[in-house]
């Protein structure tokens, strides 16, 4: 019995030690890489203050009492040790305490910096590797309704006949109007071969189905030729081969074509280098974007080169509120240089670049290390880009108004301008937001 007890103590001390090591690594990476300068002492002091300010585990009088006691201690490490001692007396384990302090550290940073646990790292790998387990539907939350915005080819959803604009009412009995988008995706993506029950609404019809989850490869680029000799590219994210794929199709078809549409709706971003390379295909000069990091001289400009220009065909871009990051770099650069006309709605507004730092085998720290600025020195962070023409971006009853508007603009501009008034476009201000 004594041996078992000693083993338990040893294991508990290892867990506590692991949590403390994680906390130390988080502090080190923030101090070294985050786009704003923080010293380790400053991070410890501020994270303790943040914890005491917002923790639900202490009543107000306890918070004030501990603040007063800790305020008298000048050295941050001693302050940290004293807080740990105080919380242990409240019944918290060291593992719980350091996990809470990691959360407090992250609360000091910008909205795009995150601590990624095992499940979140798996989701990130899905986005970068293009493979996941699920049904093959992309969803959006609109006014508490969970709406299908895309159905992947050859997926369980497409084989059954799930359609864009279908409303998902329940997933395995869980009502969807009260769950977050992330939670809904979590319910859909589990083990290969597992069954999932869906309750759908299509117009006034209610549909009950049961589908089997499969391993699905994400196609990041969809290409087709549409009427009036227009080339259509749908980019779902900027992976490592997007620029090469687009270049190949333009070279093959541009002599037989009159215009190009690039659909960036729902595109969360991806590799900045690929967005810059695609922009360079359509621009023969000028700045595409500038990346500015921490410290003097940590600045890099990305400029267009005439040697890389592929085509002068007229260009339209479709955007929506989920168009973000690298997708905003591409659309913003082409709009500023009057190379493309944008259709849809204001974009998301993510103008930062994140880098990933390993904390444990399964967990990582995603930190904002720089910000992007477009050719006119504007930032899209928190404000987004206004399209030239505001058009409904949702597909309704099989009609894609944004796509139809772009096609009409490229084919017959005179008819188009009678229907759609030109509005103020470009990077908006926080007041406009």
CA-to-CA distance for 279 and 327, rounded, in angstroms? 10
Q: If DSSP codes are grouped into helix, strand and coil, which group holds residue 290?
A: strand
CA-to-CA distance for 302 and 138, rounded, in angstroms? 32
**The predicted structure's pLDDT at residue 6:** 40
Annotated domain spans of the chain: 2-109, 131-217, 221-427
E strands, 237-386, are 259-263, 287-293, 299-303, 315-319, 341-344, 352-358, 364-374, 385-386
Tokens of 130: 């293009």
| Lowest-pLDDT range of 179-183, 198-202, 242-246, 335-339 | 179-183
Domain 221-427 belongs in CATH node 3.90.226.10: yes
Most confident range (mean pLDDT) of 78-87, 274-283, 395-404 is 274-283
CA-to-CA distance for 320 and 238, rounded, in angstroms? 16
Q: Given the DSSP bridges, would you call strands 145-151 and 137-142 parallel, antiparallel or unpaired? A: antiparallel
Predicted structure pTM score? 0.75
Segment 405-426, tens digit of pLDDT: 999 999 998 888 888 776 655 5
Cα 174 to its chain centre, rounded Å, is 25
**The predicted structure's pLDDT at residue 186:** 85
Segment 56-66, tens digit of pLDDT: 888 787 778 77
When the pLDDT of each residue in the chain is averaged and rounded to a whole number, the result is: 88
Query: In the predicted model, is pLDDT for residue 351 greater than 90?
Result: yes
Segment 289-342, tens digit of pLDDT: 999 998 767 899 999 999 999 999 999 999 999 999 999 999 999 999 999 999
CA-to-CA distance for 373 and 35, rounded, in angstroms? 15
Phi first, then psi, for residue 176 (nearest 5°) are -90, -15
Segment 238-283, tens digit of pLDDT: 988 899 999 999 999 999 999 999 999 999 998 899 999 999 999 9
Instruction: Please report where in the chains the tokens 């709009």 appear, as a residue.
Output: 335
Selecting from 3.30.450.20, 1.10.10.10, 2.30.42.10, 2.40.50.140, what CATH number does the domain 131-217 have? 2.30.42.10
Residue of 31, 70, 29 whose CA lies nearest to 48: 70
CB 167 within 8 A of CB 200: yes
Segment 112-164, tens digit of pLDDT: 999 999 888 877 877 777 778 889 998 888 888 999 988 888 899 999 999 99
**The predicted structure's pLDDT at residue 10:** 39
Residue of 92, 103, 30, 93 whose CA lies nearest to 62: 92
């Amino acid at each position: 019995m004594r041996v078992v007890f000693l083993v338990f103590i040893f294991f508990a001390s290892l867990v506590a030690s692991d949590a403390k090591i994680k906390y130390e690594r988080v502090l080190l990476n923030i101090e070294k890489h985050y786009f704003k300068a923080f010293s380790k002492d400053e991070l410890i002091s501020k994270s303790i203050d943040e914890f005491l300010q917002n923790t639900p585990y202490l009543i107000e009088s306890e918070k004030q009492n501990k603040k007063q006691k800790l305020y008298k201690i000048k050295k941050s490490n001693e302050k940290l040790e004293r807080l740990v001692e105080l919380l242990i007396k409240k019944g918290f384990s060291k593992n719980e305490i350091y996990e809470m302090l990691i959360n407090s550290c992250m609360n000091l940073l910008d909205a795009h910096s995150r601590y990624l646990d095992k499940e979140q790292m798996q989701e990130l790998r899905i986005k970068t590797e293009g493979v996941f387990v699920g049904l093959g539907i992309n969803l959006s939350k609109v006014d508490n309704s969970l709406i299908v915005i895309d159905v992947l080819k050859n997926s369980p959803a497409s084989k059954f006949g799930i359609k864009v604009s279908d409303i998902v009412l329940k997933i395995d009995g869980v009502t969807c109007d009260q769950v977050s988008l992330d939670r809904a995706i979590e319910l859909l993506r589990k083990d290969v071969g597992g069954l999932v029950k869906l309750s759908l609404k299509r117009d006034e019809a209610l549909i009950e189905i049961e589908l089997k989850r499969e391993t699905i490869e994400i196609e990041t680029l969809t290409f087709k030729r549409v009427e009036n000799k227009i080339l259509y590219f749908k980019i779902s994210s900027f992976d490592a081969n997007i620029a090469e794929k687009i270049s190949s199709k333009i070279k093959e078809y541009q002599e037989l074509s009159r215009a190009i549409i690039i659909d960036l709706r729902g595109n969360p971003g991806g590799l900045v280098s690929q967005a810059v390379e695609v922009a360079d295909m359509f621009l023969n000069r000028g700045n595409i974007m500038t990346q500015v990091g921490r410290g003097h001289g940590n600045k890099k400009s990305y400029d267009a080169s005439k040697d890389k220009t592929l085509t002068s065909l007229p260009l339209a871009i479709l955007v929506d509120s989920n168009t973000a990051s690298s997708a905003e770099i591409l659309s913003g650069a082409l709009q500023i240089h009057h190379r493309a006309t944008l259709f849809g709605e204001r974009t998301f507004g993510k103008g930062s670049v994140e880098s990933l730092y390993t904390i444990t085998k399964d967990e990582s720290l995603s930190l904002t290390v720089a910000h992007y600025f477009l050719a006119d020195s504007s930032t899209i962070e928190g404000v987004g880009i206004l399209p030239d023409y505001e058009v409904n971006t949702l597909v309704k009853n099989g009609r894609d108004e944004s796509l139809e508007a772009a096609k009409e603009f490229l084919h017959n501009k005179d008819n188009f301008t009678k229907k759609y008034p030109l509005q103020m476009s470009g990077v908006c201000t926080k007041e406009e937001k």
